[in-house]
Structure 1
Amino acid sequence: MKINKSLLFIAVFLFSSFTIFKDKKDLNIVFIGDSITYGAGLPDRDTQAPPVICAKYLQAEGGFGKVDFSNQGHSGYTTLDWLPGTKAFVDAEAAAKAFANQNTQLIFSIKIGTNDSAMHGTHGAPVSVVDYRANLMAIIDKLLKDFPNSKVVIEHPIWYSPNTYNGSMYLQEGLTRLQTYIPVIDDLAANYKDTNPGRVFIGDTKAFNYFKKNAETDFQHEQGRQGIFYLHPNQKGAVALGNYWGKAIAKVIK
């Protein structure tokens, strides 16, 4: 029997396309964080905040199916504000349970540390490296327990200018402290690799240096008690940060 090669090619193409589409993984993401996650200072945080950009990246560029997310960022929050039992933590868990499709991959993307690093003015600041580690562990352990099929991605914090001083005082001491949290994040992820394989991962590690190099173009220019400071990404910076998060999450899930 003679086979029409053109029809055979079309059939194989359609089958392959269907298989690829069918195999695309859907994601539910809860973003846990601070004002940077929230999108403070952006003209329209509902469309411009980093979690929005991250979800768009994952759906368009990451090769995933439907990506639903909940932005649980809160301005000024430290790891103490996110401990299990706090309103923020309870709300984040409720957001995870509220997703319409509970059969998709659930991810908690965590970026906390900026406000912990402040000299004073935020809850518990300055938070020591030891306490930061203990608090972050308490948060992650509870999420892993309450959502057995979830994955946790810990994003590195991003750089802020050493003259940052708004309602809270950060300055160089805070920036130095912030950088001591990064090895804690890396070490925790390594430890969880042994105790909870395939559950906890390091997310983005590149945005810190990116914002340090591109402060004037990617941060909002905010007037503080020691002049113009850089803390919150502007629209351009929010796109950069969201894409960094998206790339890191895509790499983890794949």
Structure 2
Amino acid sequence: MTSPAAQAAAPMLSFRSLVKKRGSFALGPVDVEFNVGVSALLGANGSGKTTFMQLAAGLIAPDSGSIEHSSRAENRTVSAAGFLPQDFSGPRRPRVRDYLRFIAWCRSGGGLRIRESDIDDALSAVDLADRADSRIGTLSGGMVKRLGIAQALLGDPGVIILDEPTVGLDPLQRQEIRILLQRLGEQKTVLVSTHLSEDVAATAKNVVALHGGHVVFSGSTRALAGDDAPGRPGAEAVERGLIALIEGRAAHA
């Protein structure tokens, strides 16, 4: 029997020799693992981030290799992964709880049953319990993003995949989302795609950087930043580290 310590250390999301081709572009082969905590996916436009996120969320299938979700392997009554697309907005007229009920109904089946109490838990997790009866169209931009995260939490997935969760938000709303990501990362594997080095510095323990469809870095945020100061590395150090990686890769090519 696997010990609790070994279970805690086991990766929740693993890419094994994964390759995905889209026209003339190819992602991979990719071999990376994600454990409990917040990890950031970085890279310039065209690096393969969108393809990577869609593969992780199960929206598209790899051409070769595999993706493993240990949460699904251990318990088939939970979702493998929850996903927040970058352009999430939600319909305006439905009430928050009714919308989540519809999403829960869509996802229930095949051994997975999402109950009313699961909806309550998702709303509480994103601090929207007091807006359960509000129409989505009355929510602020930050609340809508939190609703998007709530729908990703339905089914209690061990892996949460968020594509640009703070884009378009004001500084206070971004801070609310960052605090939420840190909280979720205490128990779940949270993979965040972002262009904002401030988000990485504030929330991510680890980073995977892509360039031209290849993983050019996979490790701690501190290692990417090369920051020896105590505490979290700053946003400028994260940005410098990423730029140095990309420029070094381009020079090598």
Question: Same fold, TM exceeding 0.5?
Answer: no
Name the larger-Rg structure: 1
Q: TM-score, normalised by structure 1?
A: 0.33
Q: TM-score, normalised by structure 2?
A: 0.33
Structure with more of its chain in strand, by fraction: 2
Higher relative contact order (CA 8 A, sep 6+): 2
